[in-house]
Amino acid sequence: MKKPTRRSALALAAVAALALTGCGSSDPLGGQDTASGSPSATGGTGGSGDALVIGSQQYYSNEIIAELYAQALEAEGYTVERDYQIGQREVYLPEVESGAIDVMPEYGGNLLQYYDAEATATSPEDIQAALAEVLPQGLRPLEPAEATDQDSYNVTRAFAEKHSLTSLADLKNVDEPLKVAANSEFETRPYGPAGLKEAYGVDVTVVPVEDSGGPLTVKALVDGDVQLADIYSADPSIAAEDLVTLEDPENLILPQNVTPIASEAVDEEAAAIIEKVNAKLTPEALIGLNRESVEKEASSEDIAQAWLAGQGLS
Residues interacting with other proteins, by CB under 8 A? 6-7, 10-11, 13-14, 17-18, 20-21, 23-25, 27-29, 90, 181, 183-185, 187-188, 207-211, 215-216, 219-220, 223, 225
> Nearest to residue 300, comparing CAs of 17, 16, 67, 52?
67
The least distance separating other proteins from the CB of residue 35, rounded to whole angstroms, comes to 11
When the beta carbons of 21 and 79 are compared against other proteins, the nearer one is 21
The least distance separating other proteins from the CB of residue 120, rounded to whole angstroms, comes to 22
The least distance separating other proteins from the CB of residue 109, rounded to whole angstroms, comes to 17
What CA–CA distances, in Å, run from 185 to 58, 157, 306? 17, 26, 36
The least distance separating other proteins from the CB of residue 280, rounded to whole angstroms, comes to 33
When the beta carbons of 80 and 155 are compared against other proteins, the nearer one is 155
**What DSSP element (H or E) covers 137?**
none
End-to-end CA distance of the chain: 66
Separation CA 242–CA 304 (nearest Å): 26
When the beta carbons of 45 and 114 are compared against other proteins, the nearer one is 114
When the beta carbons of 198 and 210 are compared against other proteins, the nearer one is 210
When the beta carbons of 185 and 284 are compared against other proteins, the nearer one is 185
What CA–CA distances, in Å, run from 153 to 80, 111, 184? 37, 21, 15
Taking the CA atoms of 110, 155, 237 and 25 in sequence, report the sign of the dihedral they define: positive
Separation CA 42–CA 57 (nearest Å): 12
The least distance separating other proteins from the CB of residue 24, rounded to whole angstroms, comes to 3
Contact between 244 and 165 under an 8 Å Cβ cutoff? The reply is: yes
∠ CA 294-179-290, nearest 5°, is 15
Task: Kindly provide the b/e burial profile for residues 27-58, where b requires at least 16 CB atoms within 10 angstroms of the residue's own CB.
Answer: eeeeeeeeeeebeeebeeeeeeeeebbbbbbb
∠ CA 129-132-134, nearest 5°, is 110
When the beta carbons of 172 and 197 are compared against other proteins, the nearer one is 197
The least distance separating other proteins from the CB of residue 1, rounded to whole angstroms, comes to 15
The least distance separating other proteins from the CB of residue 20, rounded to whole angstroms, comes to 7
When the beta carbons of 178 and 216 are compared against other proteins, the nearer one is 216
